[in-house]
Amino acid sequence: MLVTGNDILIPARAGKYGVGSFNTNNMEITQAIIHTAEKLRSPVMVQMSEGAIKYGGQDLANIVKDIATRATVPVALHLDHGSSYESALNAIRMGFTSVMIDASHHSFDENVHETRRVVEAAHAMGISVEAELGRLGGIEEHIVVDEKDAFLTDPEEAVQFVEQTGTDYLAIAIGTSHGAYKGKGRPYIDQARIARIGELLGIPLVAHGSSGVPQEIVERFRTGGGQIGDAAGIADDDLREACQHGIAKVNVDTDLRLASTVGIREALMANAKEFDPRKIFGPARDVMAQVIEHKMRVLGSVGKA
C-alpha cells in the first residue's frame, strides 16, 4: 500500500529500527526495491531525486505508485533533496507521499524559512516532510572538535530548527557523505552526536550517504572490467548502532548503482552474443535485490510490515 513517510518512520523510530529509502531511476530498480520489501515483510521508502524526475518524470512516478499501491507492505514515494518550495509542490502534484526540502546550504534562518513554507503546504495535503540541517561530508576520526562542529549538526540547533519548522523528520550531518568514496577504511560516524540529537528530539532522524559499498560488489565490478578507486561505505555495525540512537530513515543509492552495473557487466561478459534486454537488466535487478535484502536485514526492518 502507498502510505506517507510518517506512517513508516514513526513506528521505525519507536521500534529502534531503520527503514531503507532507496533511490529509483527505472522500473527494474523499483521492482527490486518493492518486491524485496514484500518478500521480507519490510516497510520501505522509494525515493526519486530531481534528476530522477527529469529522467523518468511522471511515467516513473506512476510506475512506483502503481507497484506500491498493489504491494502488500507499506511503501512511501519520497522526493530526495528537493531544492525549492516549487520542487516540493511539484512532487506532491505528481503524487509523492513524502518530500524533502534541502535548504541546508543556506543560512539557518533561510533554511527555517524555506522549510516552514514547505511544511505548511505539505501538511495541508497530508504529506510528510524531511528537512536537513548541517553539511554532509566525510570526517576523519582525529579531526578536532571545533572543525567537526563547523559542519556536523549541532544538537541544540536541531531542536530549535524542528520547533521553528515543524518538519516531520530531520536529516543530520554525522560524518556520512554521498557516493562510493566515503573515507579510508571504515568511515567515521559520530555516534555520540546521533545519540545526543536522539535524546533531545523524538522525531525520526535521517542518515544520507548510507551505502555500504560492499567490497564483494566492488570486486565483482572490477572483475567485470569496471574501474573504481578506494571505494568505501558505512559499516553494517555502524548503521545498526545509529538506528539504536534514533536514525529511522536510511538513504541508499550508490549500492544500487554499483549492484546494477555489476549485474549488467557480468551478463555481457558471460555471453558476448547476448542482446535480449531481459537477459541484461534481469540480472541487474537480481543483484540489486540481494543488496537490498542485506540492507533490510542490517537495519532490522524485516518482518515489521
Ligand X SMILES: O=C(CO)COP(=O)(O)O
Ligand Y SMILES: O=C[C@H](O)COP(=O)(O)O
Binding residues for ligand Y, rule: CB under 6 A, are 23, 49, 51-52, 80-81, 178, 253
Strand 247-252 to 19-23 pairing: parallel
The answer to whether residue 265 forms part of the interface with Zn ion (CB under 5 A) is no
Nearest to 266 by CA among 228, 222, 231: 222
Residue nearer to ligand Y on the CB measure, 117 or 178: 178
Q: Binding pattern to ligand X, positions 60-99, x when CB under 6 A?
A: --------------------xx------------------
In the bound complex, what is the minimum distance in angstroms from residue 49's beta carbon to ligand X?
A: 7
Query: Residue 51 touches which of ligand X, ligand Y, Zn ion, none (CB < 5 to 8 A by kind)?
Result: ligand Y
In the bound complex, what is the minimum distance in angstroms from residue 52's beta carbon to ligand Y?
A: 5
Tell whether 254 is in a known binding site. Answer: yes
Strand 98-101 to 19-23 pairing: unpaired
Residue nearer to Zn ion on the CB measure, 113 or 222: 113
Query: Residue 210 touches which of ligand Y, ligand X, Zn ion, none (CB < 5 to 8 A by kind)?
Result: ligand X
Tell whether 18 is in a known binding site. Answer: no
State the catalytic residue, choosing from 7, 59, 66, 80.
Answer: 80
Query: Residue 104 touches which of ligand X, Zn ion, ligand Y, none (CB < 5 to 8 A by kind)?
Result: Zn ion
Region of 82-90, 106-114, 155-163, 203-211 interacting with Zn ion (CB under 5 A): 203-211
Residue nearer to ligand X on the CB measure, 158 or 239: 239
Number of residues written out for the chain: 305
The answer to whether residue 301 forms part of the interface with Zn ion (CB under 5 A) is no
Give the whole-angstrom CA distance, residue 284 versus residue 265. 9
Task: Verify whether residue 230 is a known catalytic residue.
Answer: no
Give the whole-angstrom CA distance, residue 135 versus residue 107. 11
The answer to whether residue 25 forms part of the interface with ligand X (CB under 6 A) is no
In the bound complex, what is the minimum distance in angstroms from residue 279's beta carbon to ligand X?
A: 27
Amino acid at the residue 162: V
Residues marked as binding? 81, 102, 132, 178-179, 208-211, 251-254
- Residues serving a catalytic function are 80
Residues marked as binding for Zn(2+)? 81, 102, 132, 178, 208
